[in-house]
Structure 1
Amino acid sequence: MRLKKYTDYSLRVLVYVGSKEQDHLSSIKEISQAFDISQNHLSKVVFHLGKLELIQTVRGRSGGIKLLERPENINLGDVIRKMESDFILIDYGQSGSKEEALKPSDQLKYALEEALQSFFYVLNQYTLKDLLHENEEVNKILHYEA
């Protein structure tokens, strides 16, 4: 399974903002520079995170973004579920197609569903706070000042 870059960028935004003081407002520009990600892409991610009420966005010259919740209240499994559009592990084509003849057995479908549930079982045990532990290399990136 591979998560979208969009989800990766979302997690990076949350980690960056979560690493700052609670009242600090981070800008899209500083996050973009810290991770070398397009500001345009980050604007879309930040908008989505705001709609999901994971971050607060403040407009204006001295605006920026900050977490709405404490890092220990942001569950990684929940974030990933919200950022990904679907979790179809194998696409077996449309009804009536030749691919439909290759549909898996019920046992394979069960095994794939169980694997997906295990994936989220593990992620549900982690919060954003777990990603913010002391790590010298990560701290160099997260505390980058423009």
Structure 2
Amino acid sequence: MNLTLFTDYSLRTLIYLGSLEGQQKASVEQIAKAYGISHHHLVRVGQRLAKLGLIKTLRGRNGGIELAKEPADISIGWLVRELEDNMNLVDCFSGEQMCAIQGACGLQGMLAAALHAYLQVLDRYTLADVIRNRSAIAKLFADASEWPS
């Protein structure tokens, strides 16, 4: 299963923000430059993360974005479920008759079980687990000269 680019960018944004020390904020531009990804896409990501209550956006001279929750309170499994529009691994998951052997084939059940297991594993982790090595992540961003000073 591939996560969409939107989910990938959302996770990257949260990792970046979670790696900041203290109450530091970052701009979408800083995050886009740090990862070498589209500023435009990250604006949309930021809007969705704010709507989900995961980040706060602050305008003005000292503005930027910051986490709205503690990293330990941001479940990776929950986030993937919220951001992924289509978790159908194969066409027969849609409920429509898409395959000549649908209903008799055991593949749909196997893939459904695999997807369930995948999400159960992600449910065991939070953003805090992802950024456990926060200082190493911060050093990599600093080495890229994109870390906020």
TM-score relative to the length of structure 2: 0.85
* Separation in 1, partners of 2:122, 2:96: 33
The share of aligned pairs that are identical, in percent, is: 37
Give 1:100-119 correspondences, 5 Å limit. Answer: 100-103=99-102, 105=104, 107-119=106-118
- Kindly provide the amino acid, as one letter, of the partner of residue 145 in structure 1: W
Backbone CA RMSD of aligned residues: 2.2
- Alignment gaps of 5+ in structure 2: none
Q: Which moved more, 1:23-32 or 1:58-67?
A: 58-67
Aligned 8 A contact 2:19 2:135 in 1: no
1:145 correspondence with 2:147: yes
Counterpart amino acid of residue 76 in structure 2: L
1:66 is matched with: 66
CA deviation after TM superposition for structure 1 residue 135, in Å: 6.6
**C-alpha displacement at 1:140, in angstroms?**
3.0
Count residues in correspondence: 144
**Counterpart in the other structure of 1:130:** 129
Runs of 5+ in structure 1 lacking a partner?
none
CA distance, structure 1, for counterparts of residue 55 and residue 10 of structure 2: 11
Q: In structure 2, how many angstroms separate the alpha carbons of the residues matched to 1:20 and 1:112?
A: 38
Q: 1:118 to 1:78 in 2, by over 3 A?
A: same
Contact 2:19 2:137 in 1 (8 A): no
